[in-house]
Amino acid sequence: MHQTIHIATKEFKDYFISPIAYIVISLFLVITGWFFFSTFFIFDRADMRNFFALLPTIFSFIIPAVTMRLFSEEVNVGSYETLMTLPVSFRDIALGKFLAATAFCGCMLLPTLSYPLFISMIGEVDPGPVMGGYLGALLLAGAYCALGILASSMTRNQIVAFILGAAICFALTILDRVLFFIPPSLTELIGFLGTNTHFQSIAKGVIDSRDILYFLSVMFLGLFGTYLVMQEKN
Amino acid sequence: MIQVNNLTKYYDSFCAVDGISLEIRQGEILGLLGPNGAGKTTTLRMLTGFFKPTSGTIKIDDLEIPKDTLEIKKRMGYLPESAPLYHNMLVFDYLTYVAKVRGLAKEDIPGRLQELSGLCGLADIMHKSIDALSKGLKQRVGLAHAMMTDPEILILDEPTSGLDPNQIAEIRAIIRRIGKKKTIIFSTHILSEAEATCDRIVIINQGKMVADDTTENLKHRAEKGTTFSLALYGETGKAPIKLLNTLDADLDIRQVAARETGTSLYEVKTGSSRDFRKDIYLKIKETDWVMAELTRESQSLENIFQELTKGA
């Protein structure tokens, strides 16, 4: 467990040593800020529904950029060998990297907490959906981080890892919007597999254990898949 | 202390390591030699638990890979080939991180880093970024990484490859210094290096072990007969050949080009392992020739290596 924390701390610091953190955070804030506030006054509602509606799509492109280097760079530089021969298990490594990436996404969301503060100055904000939205955002970020890590473990090229990760995350995001292509008998199942419905239901302030369980399963499957991929390499 | 039994590794259908069995005692410095692609790195990676063997067992004391890999990793320091480290970190930060992951107590870390910095000569580069270091310096950081918790076993994969002669000498000196107490396994394809540092040499070729012996024994094994070289002052012509032939009729004596002006050089070859130096000296003493030098030439490890790894 100590090892997990040491690895997570190191990976988390790594983000802020390189310019990557600042670029990704700025990009995220500009994109979400622009899309959210450009329509905010037109709708004239004191809530953050539009912000959270956009989040899965934006996350599915931003988070793979956060996770793309986690395994691919290690394998490419060869430091994965150095890391694996330290007295740590693969679980420590994967969990450490996952926690670091999720914590980084938390940092990315942190400045957006100012939105509800500003909105509350001009109108009554219902705290339930906002809190639910942020909880859902963290769960969603965790799930996408795990999938991004899986993509990163599949290749030693960071660009390929990013594209692969974005493809997986985006596919899961839009899954519930392409249901009309799918035979009616399968719509319910396929709809359940997409991230968007689960996220939007939490973001409404309805915290259902099924939604939480869904995100935890995606995280687990992503990391377990990473384990299998890396195992195959040795 | 380390027992390797019938270790085999296949990459798909390619056999990289084919049935290697070894026993390594505590405090031994073992050199793993072989041409490029012989399976040295694969063998070392399996010893560290990084690669899974296709078949065969590795036991360290009473621990076994892969069952006790975590415990084994604690006792082992490993420097992979070309020391892959995190490029964006400072040397100090990197070593602190390794110390923490290896479970050193927080208050012991500064002391240990200081010791290692002395041992590996890192004092000047502690606060430099790793990607700004030259290959030799990276290698030293890698050594410090491997020795962090003073492990019982050190595995070094080509620790001197790509270094300049001064750096090679330094790394060898470090290996010898720490090798007094530790079990060290290192791979190299430089023979003189193995000769200078190892107690024991294992040569592998195309995944198979072709030799496993002490450095001394290996040399003797190759000595099919001995060559002596004798130099006399002045132009002594053919006369010494005739004289030395009276020692033993089987001696093959030839005059060769002199290395120094004003001397004559002879090569005396014998098929037996007998040391003829004394006989030659006494024979020359009876005459009025003056001896400039008399040496026994031993066959170098290069010849053995070439012989054993033919067809590689």
How many whole angstroms separate alpha carbon A175 and alpha carbon A172?
Answer: 5
Give me the pLDDT at residue B128, please: 92
CB B283 within 8 A of CB B250: no
**pLDDT-flagged residues of chain A (< 50):** none
User: For B113-127, what is each residue's pLDDT tens digit?
Assistant: 998 888 888 889 999
pLDDT for A141 equals 96
End-to-end CA distance of chain B: 31
Do the chains contact at A82 and B74, CB–CB below 8 Å?
Answer: no
pLDDT of residue B56 exceeding 60: yes
Q: pLDDT value at position A226?
A: 95
Residue B173 has pLDDT above 70, yes or no: yes
* Type of residue numbered A203: A
Contact flag B73-A86 (C-beta cutoff 8 Å): yes
**Chain B interface residues facing chain A, Cβ-Cβ under 8 Å?**
45, 48-52, 70-71, 73-74, 76, 78, 80, 82-89, 97-98, 100-103, 142, 145
Q: What are the tens digits of pLDDT across the range A75-124?
A: 999 899 999 999 999 999 999 999 999 999 999 999 999 999 988 888 88
pLDDT: which is higher, B175 or A102:
A102
Closest Cα of chain A to B202: distance in Å? 23
The Cα of A88 is separated from the nearest Cα of chain B by a number of Å equal to 7
* pLDDT digit string, tens, across residues A59-79: 999 999 999 999 999 999 989
Report how far residue A86's alpha carbon sits from residue B249's, in angstroms, rounded to the nearest whole number. 64
Structural domains of chain A, count:
1
Using an 8 Å CB-CB cutoff, list chain B residues near A3. 101, 103
Domains of chain B: residue spans and CATH: 2-221 (3.40.50.300), 223-299 (3.30.70.1560)
Taking an 8 Å cut-off on Cβ atoms, the answer to whether A78 and B73 are in contact is no
Residue A83 to residue A96: CA distance in whole angstroms? 12
B256 torsion bin: left (phi>0), alpha (psi -120 to 50), beta (else) = beta
Cβ–Cβ below 8 Å for B101 and A88 = yes
How far, rounded to the nearest angstrom, does the alpha carbon of residue A80 sit from its chain's CA centroid?
Answer: 23
A7 touches chain B (CB under 8 A): yes
* Best B101, B131, B149 residue to mutate vs chain A (most A CBs within 10 Å): B101
pLDDT digits (tens, 9 = 90+) for B78-116: 999 888 889 889 999 999 999 999 988 889 999 999 988
Residues B239, B230: Cα–Cα separation, whole Å: 13
Domain that holds residue A182: 2-233
CA distance A77 to chain B (A): 6
| Rg, Å, chain B Cα set | 25
Which amino acid makes up residue A212? I
